[in-house]
Structure 1
Amino acid sequence: MKHFEHISPSTLDEAASLLNGGDAVLSAGGTDLVGVLKEELLPHYPSQVVSLKQIPGLDGIEAREDGLHLGAMATLADIAESPVVKEGWAALADAAYSVASPNIRNLATVGGNICQDVRCWYYRYPNSIGGRINCARKTGNLCSAMMGENRFHSIFGAAKVCETACTHECPAHTDISAYMELLRAGDVDGAARIILEVNPMPAITSRVCAHFCMEGCNRNKYDESLNVGGVERYLGDYILEHHSEYMKAPETENGKHVSIVGSGPSGLTAAYYLRQAGYQVTIYERMKEAGGCLSYAIPPYRLPKEVVRKFVATLEEMGVQFKLGVHVGEDVQLDEIVKSSDSVMLDTGTWKRPLIGLAGEEMTQFGLDFLVSVNNYILEKPGSRVVVVGGGNVAMDVAVTAKRLGSESVKMVCLEQRDNMPANAEEVERALDEGVEILNGWGPKEILRTENKVSGIVFKSCPKVLDETGRFNPIYDETNCMPLDADIILMAIGQRADLAFLNGAYEVETERGRIKVLDGNNTSVPGIFAGGDVTTGPATVIKAIAAGLTTAKSINNYCKLPELPVETVTRDRKHKSLVTFDSGCKNCHSASHGAMLRAEERGIHKEDQSGLDSSAVRCEAGRCFNCGCLAVNPSDMANMLYAYGAKIITTQRELDAATFFATSTRVTDLLRKGEIVTEIVVPRLPEGAVARYDKYRIRDSIDFAVVAVASVYRLNNGVVEDASLVLGAVAPIPMKRTGAEAYLKSKTLTAEVAAQAAELALEGALPLDKNAYKIDMAKTMVRRSMGF
C-alpha cells in the first residue's frame, strides 16, 4: 500500500476544508477504500485520507414524523439490527444485512455504501487477468468487458466516464460515439447537428481528413476500425444537400463586424460560427475562388471542387461577404481593415516555398505551385521522368497528380522509412497502386544539370531521421549516394507563411516565420486574432477547423457578447447517464467502405471513391462500441433507498434519490467541492404498502450482487395503487423501471400481471455475450417481489 497521511478532523467544516485544499479523499467505514489502496487498483492515489469517524453526531438512527433519519456514519450492522428500522423499514434492514460478512457490516457505513465506486471483474480483481489495466474508469479509454470477461457486467448499456478514444484523437473533439448512437436510432438530423457543433464542413473533412479518430478507435485492438470517415461523409453530404435547414442566416444582427483575411478552413469555420451569431462577416481572399488549400492545394480526385463551392455558396446564403481577388498588403492594407472592423482574424495559410540550401535548388519546382496550377485547370504533363522530394500528404498528391497527367516515371523520395512516413497510409497505398515508386531513407544532396536544364538529382542516405529525444534531426551518410535521372524535380518538403502583409501600422508579433498566438488565438495586437496554418505551420484541415472555432469564441468574448449559439447548443445537448450500442456490434468485424475506382479508371477531376449508402452507414454505426464503462453499481443500500424515495442530506443541500443515485455513475462527480453526505431521510411507508429487498449472489459472504431487486408496492384490495421498482447490479447506476411501475398501477396483481411487469422491467436490456442470464434472473426476482 502506498503511503498516505491519515487525518481525523473533529468537525464537518474541518473535513470540508481538507477536501477543498488538495488531493484528499473521505473515509467513512473504510472497507472499500482499504481494498482499493491495498490492491493498487487506481493509477493515482490520494496523499490524504480524511476519516469522518471522530466527528460526533453522524451515526444516529431515529424515527421522526417525516421518516427514518439515518446518520451517514451509521454502520450497516446497526441498521440491520435496529428495532426502529426493523419495525418501520424492514426491507432496508434486509438490504443492510445482505451486505457481506458481519465483520464488514460492523465497519461499513450507510454513507460509505451509497458513495462507493462501481464493481467490475477487471477493475477489482486485476490479478486474475494478469495485472492492473487502465480501463475507461481509470486513466484509459477502453472497457475490456466489451470483448472480454463480462459475466457480472451491465445489461443496460455503459456509462460515459471519459472522453472516448475516437473523440480524444480528433483535433476538433467531435463527439463521434454520440452521433453514431443517433444514427443507430435512425436520427440522421440529430447526428448531423452533433457534427455541426464543432465542424461546419464534414463533407470536406470526411474526404481529406487524416482521420486520427480511426487510428484511435478501440475496435483496432480487436479487428478493424470503424469507418468514421465514411459515415462522416454521408452526414456531410446530407448537410450540404439540406443546407437551408442546418446553415441558416441569423434571425437578428448583433451590430458587430468581423473581417477575416484568408479563406482557408480556419477562416471559413470562424465565419460560419460568427455569422450564425449575427455578426457581419467579410472575408478577403487574394485568389479568384474562396477555400484556400481546399480549393487550390488538394486535388479534385480527393476533394471535388464542387463540394467546396457548395459550402462557400452556403456561407454566402447565410450572409458572409467574400471579397475575392483582393491581396491584403497590396490592394488594401491591414490597418484599413482593422479600422473598419470590430475584430479581425488572420488565416493566410502557408503558401511560400521554403529553401533548404540545396545546390541547384532554383531549378526545381515547388510542389504546391504545381498543385495550384492543376487546380487552375493547367493540365499539362509536368515531365516524362518526375522526381518528387518529400513524404507527406502534399508530396503524395503531387506524385499521384503527375502520374495521372501522363508522366511515365514518377519516383517519390523521402527521409523516412515506409512505416514512419508522415503521409496517411491510404495515400501511400493510392500512390503505390498507381505506379509511383517510393524510395525511403534518402535526402537530397544536389541537382544535376545538362545544358542548363535539370537532368537528375543526387540523394544521400539517411539512416536516422530522429534523435534520441524524438526531435527531427536527420543523420546522413555522405558516402552512400543515389543518383536519379529526371527532367523535373518537384519539391514537397514543407511550406512557409508569407507575412509581408503584416508590415504597416499594425505590427503583429511573429515567431519562427509564423504569427505568434496565445490562448484563444489572440495575437499581440488586441482585437486581432489568427488561426490555421499561419500560426502552426502546415497541419491538417480538421486542426485548422478546430482553430477556427476557438478563434470565433475568442472574438465573441472580445466583443463582449453572449456566448455563441454553438456553445449553447453543445452545453444544452442532453447527455444520458447510460449509453447504448447494438448488442451484436462485436460480431461485425469488417468495416464498410465505398467503392474505389480501378487505377485505370481514375483521373484528375473524377472522385476516386464513392460514399456509403444509408444501409452501409447504419451497419457501420452498429459496429460502434459507444465506448463506456460496463461495470455495475455495487450498493445494496442505494437500491432500497431509491425504491423508498429517500432524500440525501449533505453539508450544502438536499438531493432526491433520483438525482443522487441515477444522474451520475460517480458520486465524486455529483457532489460539489468539499460537499459531504451527512444524513439520509427515508419516508414512512403509506398504508397498504409493502417493501421487499431480494438479492442473488454467488456466496452469502460476498457482498457483490449479481442481480438485486428493491421494490415498494402500495395495494388496496389487491389492486396496485403505486409501485416503485429498482434493479441493482445490472448497470453502472441503480435502474428504476418506470415502464413496469406505470403498467402495474390500477392492475390487480396476478401471475400474468407480474410476468408482464417483469418483461417491462427488463425492456431495453443490452446483454453482452456472457451475461444474458441476468435478464431471466432479474425477471424471476421481479415476479417474486410481487409474490409470484
Structure 2
Amino acid sequence: MGKATGFMEIKREEAEQRDPVERLKDWKEYSAPFSDEVMSRQGARCMDCGTPFCHIGMEISGATSGCPVYNLIPEWNDLVYRGQWKEALERLTKTNNFPEFTGRVCPAPCEGSCTVAISDPSVAIKDIEQAIIDKGFENGWISPRIPEQRTGKKVAIVGSGPAGLASADQLNQAGHLVTVFERDDRAGGLLMYGIPNMKLEKDVVERRIRLLEQEGVEFIVNTEVGKDITPEELKQKYDSVILCTGAQKQRDLVIEGRKSKGVDFAMNYLASTTKSLLDSNFEDGNYIDAKGKDVIVIGGGDTGADCIATALRQEANSIVQFGKHPQLPLARSAENAWPEYPQVFSLDYAHKEAKAKFGEDIRQYSIQTKKFVADDNGNLKELHTVEMKKTRDENGMFVYEEIPGTEKAWPAQLVLIAIGFEGPEQPVLKQFGVNIANRRAEAEYGDFSTNVEGVFAAGDSRRGQSLIVWAINEGREVAHAVDKYLMGTSTLPTYEAV
C-alpha cells in the first residue's frame, strides 16, 4: 500500500471519454487515452485490504460480486501508483488472459465490492486494468510465448469466444496442439460480432488472435461443427474436445405481430452492422439500417445499450428503450448492501450519447409490449404497450400487474429485441450426444467433463448467459481439467487453489 491515506485524500477520477456528440460521427472507441498521472493517483486510492473483497468472485443474491478471475488487484494498484507498470502487467496476466477485453467490456463487479465503495466511489479498477495492458502492448512487453516442448496431444475447441480463447491459450502453453473451430468468418465469437466497435475495436481482438496464432494455436474459421465437420471426425482426430459454443439462442418476444417486417433480434442487428463495417465500411449494404427510422429497443441491459449506440450512429429518427423494471435508485437500497453488485441508476455510454443527441434520457421503465402492428405490406408501423406495477404477492414474491388506462401506441419502423438468451443452441450439443440440463450442457464446474468420453464443456454453453470474466474463468479451469485428463496431472494454475 504505497499511500496509506490515499483513499481519504484522493477522489475518484475516471478515464476521459470523447465528447458524446463528436463520437457519434465515427465507430471508434468512446474512451480517450489514459494519463499515467491519473492512473497513479487512482492506484493510490486502493486500501490494500487484509481481505480484498474486490476479487472474491462469487455470486450474491443472483449477481456477481468481486472479480471471478481473482485478479491480484491491490498488488497491481500499488505497482501502478509507484510507476512500476511492467511489474503491474506481470501481476495482471497471472490471472487474466485477456485484460484488454475485460478492461473494456466487463461491468466491473470488482468495483462494486471495493471496500472504498462502502462510503465513497470505488477505486477505478477497470480503468487501471485497461491502462496496464494497453501500456504493455505499446511498449512491446507482450510478445509471443512459444512453448519449449510439445506433448503431441491434440485438442479441438468449438467456439472462439472468451472461454474458447482462454482454454486455447492455457492448453497451448501446456504444450498441447490446439485447434479452434469457429463458424463465423472471423475468430472472437461475441467479442468480434456481438460487441460494437465503440466499446471494443476489432483490431484489439485481432491483435490477440494473431498473438495466439504466433504462439501455436490454429484457428479454422467458416467451419460449423455438425455441418462442415462432424463430431465423430473431431473425436477421431483429437484427443479431447471442448465445447465453448456460448449461449446464443436469443430469447424471443412471442406476441401478436411478431413476424412484422422490422422486428428483429438485437444480436442480428449488432452482428450485421459490425460485419458490414469490417467488410466494406457499409458499402455492401448487408446490414440492418436504422437511418431515418423510429427505433424501439426492448430490454434494458448492455446489449440494448449497444443497440442504442449503433442506431445513433446510423442516424435513427428517434430511439426509445423499454425496460420491464422500475428505474433503479440513485444509491444502494437496504436490500442491496455492500459487497453485492450495486443495483443503482447510471448512464451507460450509449445513454449519455442519446441524451446529448435528443436532450433527454430515452429510457422508459415499468413498461410491457403487448403487440406489434404492421401496415398492409407487412411492414412494422407501431407497437402497443401498457405500464406495469411491481408488487409482492401473498407469498412475498415480486409480481408485475398491468395498470389499466396506461395503454399507448408508439410509432416504430424498427424494433430490436434484447431480452437475453435462453442458452446454447442445441444442435451441436445433441450431435455430440451431450446430456442437456436446464437447456445447457451438463458438466460439473471444476470437472467440466460431459457424459461423452473426452468431451468437455465450459463457458456460457455450460453455465448459461454470463459475464466475460466468468467465461475466462471457465476457460482457464476447463484447460486445467483437460490437461489433467490428457496427462494424468496438470501444472496449469487453477482458481481452486486461490
Q: TM-score, normalised by structure 1?
A: 0.50
- Inter-CA distance 325–565: structure 2 relative to 1 (3 Å threshold): same
Cα displacement string for residues 152-183 of structure 1 (whole angstroms, at most 9, x for unaligned residues) = xxxxx998643433554112111100111222
- Inter-CA distance 397–323: structure 2 relative to 1 (3 Å threshold): same
Tell me which of 369, 382, 397 is aligned to 2:290.
Answer: 382
Does the aligned pair in 2 maintain the 1:333–1:501 contact within 8 Å?
no
| Whole-angstrom CA distance in 2 between matches of 1:525 and 1:336 | 14
Given the alignment of the two structures, is residue 181 of structure 1 paired with residue 107 of structure 2, yes or no? no
- Counterpart in 2 of 1:392? 301
Tell me which of 529, 534, 543 is aligned to 2:456.
Answer: 529
User: Post-superposition shift, 1:258?
Assistant: 1.1
User: Post-superposition shift, 1:489?
Assistant: 1.1
Q: Give the gaps of 5 or more residues in structure 2.
A: 10-45, 58-65, 283-287, 330-342
Tell me which of 362, 366, 373 is aligned to 2:272.
Answer: 373
Tell me which of 418, 438, 444 is aligned to 1:518.
Answer: 444
User: Post-superposition shift, 1:352?
Assistant: 2.7
| Whole-angstrom CA distance in 1 between matches of 2:72 and 2:392 | 34
- Inter-CA distance 468–190: structure 2 relative to 1 (3 Å threshold): farther
- Counterpart in 2 of 1:437? 362
Cα displacement string for residues 168-214 of structure 1 (whole angstroms, at most 9, x for unaligned residues) = 41121111001112223333222112221221111111111101111
- Inter-CA distance 349–250: structure 2 relative to 1 (3 Å threshold): same
Instruction: Kindly provide the amino acid, as one letter, of the partner of residue 426 in structure 1.
Output: D
Does the aligned pair in 1 maintain the 2:86–2:141 contact within 8 Å?
no
Does the aligned pair in 1 maintain the 2:326–2:365 contact within 8 Å?
yes
Given the alignment of the two structures, is residue 165 of structure 1 paired with residue 54 of structure 2, yes or no? yes
Instruction: Kindly provide the amino acid, as one letter, of the partner of residue 320 in structure 2.
Output: K
- Inter-CA distance 511–562: structure 2 relative to 1 (3 Å threshold): closer
Does the aligned pair in 2 maintain the 1:198–1:549 contact within 8 Å?
no
- Counterpart in 1 of 2:250? 353
- Counterpart in 2 of 1:426? 348
Tell me which of 352, 366, 371 is aligned to 1:446.
Answer: 371
- Counterpart in 2 of 1:260? 157
User: Post-superposition shift, 1:248?
Assistant: 0.4
- Inter-CA distance 415–241: structure 2 relative to 1 (3 Å threshold): same
Instruction: Kindly provide the amino acid, as one letter, of the partner of residue 164 in structure 2.
Output: G
Does the aligned pair in 2 maintain the 1:359–1:446 contact within 8 Å?
yes
| Whole-angstrom CA distance in 2 between matches of 1:305 and 1:471 | 43
Deviates further, 485-494 or 370-379: 370-379
SS in structure 2 opposite 1:248?
coil
SS in structure 1 opposite 2:484?
helix
SS in structure 1 opposite 2:185?
coil
User: Post-superposition shift, 1:231?
Assistant: 0.9
- Counterpart in 1 of 2:415? 489
Does the aligned pair in 1 maintain the 2:52–2:74 contact within 8 Å?
no
- Counterpart in 2 of 1:412? 321
- Inter-CA distance 450–160: structure 2 relative to 1 (3 Å threshold): closer
Q: Alignment identity in percent?
A: 27
Correspondence list, 1:744-759, <5 A: none
| Whole-angstrom CA distance in 2 between matches of 1:145 and 1:227 | 13
- Counterpart in 2 of 1:552? 479
Does the aligned pair in 1 maintain the 2:54–2:111 contact within 8 Å?
no
- Inter-CA distance 486–165: structure 2 relative to 1 (3 Å threshold): same
User: Post-superposition shift, 1:393?
Assistant: 0.2
SS in structure 1 opposite 2:407?
strand
Tell me which of 231, 250, 265 is aligned to 1:334.
Answer: 231
Instruction: Kindly provide the amino acid, as one letter, of the partner of residue 483 in structure 2.
Output: N
Given the alignment of the two structures, is residue 219 of structure 1 paired with residue 116 of structure 2, yes or no? yes
* Matched length: 419
Correspondence list, 1:262-301, <5 A: 262-301=159-198
- Inter-CA distance 215–426: structure 2 relative to 1 (3 Å threshold): farther
Instruction: Kindly provide the amino acid, as one letter, of the partner of residue 365 in structure 1.
Output: D
Q: Give the superposed CA RMSD.
A: 3.0
User: Post-superposition shift, 1:281?
Assistant: 0.5
User: Post-superposition shift, 1:431?
Assistant: 4.2
Does the aligned pair in 1 maintain the 2:143–2:211 contact within 8 Å?
no
- Inter-CA distance 278–237: structure 2 relative to 1 (3 Å threshold): same
- Counterpart in 2 of 1:610? none
- Inter-CA distance 234–146: structure 2 relative to 1 (3 Å threshold): closer
Does the aligned pair in 2 maintain the 1:393–1:422 contact within 8 Å?
no
Instruction: Kindly provide the amino acid, as one letter, of the partner of residue 355 in structure 2.
Output: L
Tell me which of 371, 382, 385 is aligned to 1:456.
Answer: 382
Does the aligned pair in 2 maintain the 1:516–1:523 contact within 8 Å?
yes
| Whole-angstrom CA distance in 2 between matches of 1:391 and 1:448 | 22
- Counterpart in 1 of 2:210? 313
| Whole-angstrom CA distance in 1 between matches of 2:5 and 2:311 | 47
- Inter-CA distance 474–198: structure 2 relative to 1 (3 Å threshold): farther
Correspondence list, 1:611-622, <5 A: none
| Whole-angstrom CA distance in 1 between matches of 2:5 and 2:80 | 24
Q: Give the gaps of 5 or more residues in structure 1.
A: 1-142, 149-156, 572-788
Does the aligned pair in 2 maintain the 1:415–1:465 contact within 8 Å?
no
- Inter-CA distance 565–507: structure 2 relative to 1 (3 Å threshold): closer
SS in structure 2 opposite 1:559?
helix
Cα displacement string for residues 448-490 of structure 1 (whole angstroms, at most 9, x for unaligned residues) = 1221211111112221288788977544336532221111111
User: Post-superposition shift, 1:535?
Assistant: 2.1
- Counterpart in 2 of 1:776? none
- Counterpart in 1 of 2:133? 236
SS in structure 2 opposite 1:419?
coil
SS in structure 1 opposite 2:382?
strand
